[in-house]
Chain A
């Protein structure tokens, strides 16, 4: 029984890895290296901005400027992703739409609930501030993407 369970887990893990490899392959076909390069660039600027903001910079204007620095890079990355959708075929576009159709309402539920919890019990800002919670949104998108990919395999 344990062996069968282990075999089942390994089989499912292989499915997950195969799905991920298929998704990576499709991303490469649609975007080439563009999306990855622009994503890495945005990531690097974001990390640099976070690091700089941890240091004692007195000027409020400078701190705002640093905080806004990653924004154009993120916009450029998202614009690349959006433009790539026009190069996708009909099923790939449907999968993207289904991913967003999952992520958006679930994000709403998550953020609305978090907002009320914050009013109810004053959540620890070191754990639940915007700089942490925004990460849930792309995670939910990727969950939706995985779910939609599996549906059509």
Chain B
């Protein structure tokens, strides 16, 4: 699923490792989400929303709509 994670991360000058640590996941997970190889679970998506202070729909783009 398309997402703006890389953009949001870059705005805060965070590396993938920094973001992974803040979300308590591995860097591999962040990379897989950013490269659209993996869609996060709902709890993780909501955690991202809280971290970036944005709703999930603004981070993950539903291209089917």
Contacts and interface: CB of A to CB of B under 8 A. Distances in A.
Interface of A: 22, 26, 29, 89-92, 94, 151-153
B32 A89 contact: no
Contacts, number: 33
B29 A89 contact: yes
Contacts of A29: 26
A89 B38 contact: no
A139 B51 CA distance: 40
Given A153-B31, A153-B32, A91 B24 contact: no
Given A152-B28, A153-B32, 11 more contacts: A26-B26, A89-B29, A90-B25, A90-B40, A91-B25, A91-B26, A91-B28, A92-B26, A92-B29, A152-B37, A153-B35
Q: Which one of A26, A89, A94 has the greatest number of beta carbons of chain B within 10 Å? A: A89
Interface of B: 24-26, 28-29, 31-32, 35, 37-38, 40-41, 44
Q: Is the interface of A mostly helix, strand, loop or mixed?
A: helix
Nearest to B25: A89
Nearest to A89: B25
Contacts of A26: 26, 28
Q: Which one of B25, B28, B31, B40 has the greatest number of beta carbons of chain A within 10 Å? A: B28
